[in-house]
Amino acid sequence: MSDMTPTVIFLPGISGMQLPENIEKVGYPDTATDLEKILKLHGLNVDYAVTKSERVEVAHRAIDIWLPIIGFAAGAAGNVALNILSNALYDRFINRRRNDLPTPTIHLRLVRLPDGTEVFELNGGPEEIVETIREIGKGDRDDV
């Protein structure tokens, strides 16, 4: 893949959750693999902060959807990544949503890399999450 392709990094942990202390591996939500495929389909590079042997998938059976903690760059590359992320989430959770099912609450944490000084905790319906991600991207345009 090209060096110009934006990359997001799935960071260890699950937004808003603590794993039991007896789990020896780093927890990732089971939605990470699906989101990774969707983001790659939309043109992003996706990487994990830890190797596959160091992580465990954690499943939650609820109307809520826990997404992986996503690290992204500041500036233009981050804006592109956020735009792709918001479009992918729109396509998956709004455009393709079945009307006969309740609206899920999405839990997502975004971390601006490399120093991680900005953390965005997002919890809400799909429309709210997509709009907030787009606003975060707009707010960073001064850095470009």
Tokens 């006969």 map to which residue? 100
> What amino acid occupies position 103?
T
Question: What is the reported pLDDT for 23?
Answer: 65
Question: What is the reported pLDDT for 123?
Answer: 94
Q: Please state the pTM of the whole predicted model.
A: 0.80
Question: What is the reported pLDDT for 97?
Answer: 81
Question: What is the reported pLDDT for 142?
Answer: 45
Neighbours of 117 (CB within 10 A): 9
> Measuring CA to CA, which residue among 27, 16, 20 is closest to residue 64?
16
Question: What is the reported pLDDT for 86?
Answer: 95
Question: What is the reported pLDDT for 64?
Answer: 84
Neighbours of 107 (CB within 10 A): 22
State the 10-residue block means of pLDDT for the chain, 144 residues long: 74 73 78 92 92 86 85 89 93 86 90 84 95 86 43
DSSP per-residue string spanning 54-85: GEEEE---SS-EEPEEEEEESHHHHHHHHHHH
Neighbours of 60 (CB within 10 A): 14
Q: What are the helix and strand counts (H, E) for the chain?
A: 3, 8
> Measuring CA to CA, which residue among 1, 8, 131 is closest to residue 78?
8
Question: What is the reported pLDDT for 19?
Answer: 62
